[in-house]
Amino acid sequence: MAGGSAPRRVRLDRSEVAAVPSLGLASAFVAARERAFVDALAWLPLDDARDLLAWLASRDFLSRDELRSRLTAQPRARGNAQVRRLLDLTARGAHSHAEGCAHDLLDAAKITGWEADAPVRDVHGRLVGRADVLFAAQRVIIEIDGRRAHADRFQQDRTRDNRLAAAGYLVLRFTYDDIVQRPDETVRTIRAVLSERSTV
């Protein structure tokens, strides 16, 4: 198939089907969004599935509970082994390899007091999104920006950062290269900011 796509025949429950208005008189029927996401995570190559999971998690499109529900509802479904692997890989809240490396770096530097994949709210109490790493006491957020998960979010990320700044958060953004190739500099920056914010 072109583009590496291949058709698959699967049985869907009525609750897993969504109607999409078409240009004709009748609607087209497709797999509901959650089912399509979970199937993609189950069937894609693992690295691609992990990238997709990071993208989905950054937009609150799919939760770990929804992945677990797949395993409970369809214990013999094709791809369940990969869904379990994704749950294992993200158990600490790291949805991408880069986030996992960041967690390892914080642990190695003995920097504590943080929470992964933490919900953050604006001044009105509305959910802004989930922080890759949150230091709640200092109101510092660390975001790990991968090219794939954030490539289409330049404006959204800036709008989100502004809402968080208005709520008193400081957002630090690091890349995979910052974490892996410049770990000492990255740790120094994080320590300096946490120290400054702890004395305010």
**Amino acid identity, position 153:** R
Give 85-111 pLDDT, tens digit per residue: 999 888 888 888 888 999 999 999 999
Q: Is the pLDDT of residue 150 over 70?
A: no
> What is the DSSP code string of 96-112?
SHHHHHHHHHHHHTT--
Contacts of 193 (CB under 8 A, 6+ apart): 138, 140, 170, 172
Q: What is the mean pLDDT of residues 58-79?
A: 84
| Of the ranges 21-30, 89-98, 115-124, 190-199, the best mean pLDDT one | 190-199
Q: At 179, is the pLDDT very low, low, confident or very high (cuts 50, 70, 90)?
A: very high
Give 2-19 pLDDT, tens digit per residue: 455 566 666 666 666 666
CB atoms within 10 A of CB 12: 13
Query: Which domains are present in the chain?
Result: 12-89 (no CATH), 97-198 (3.40.960.10)
Q: Is the pLDDT of residue 151 over 70?
A: no
Nearest to 86 by CA among 51, 60, 131: 51
Nearest to 53 by CA among 71, 41, 67, 43: 41
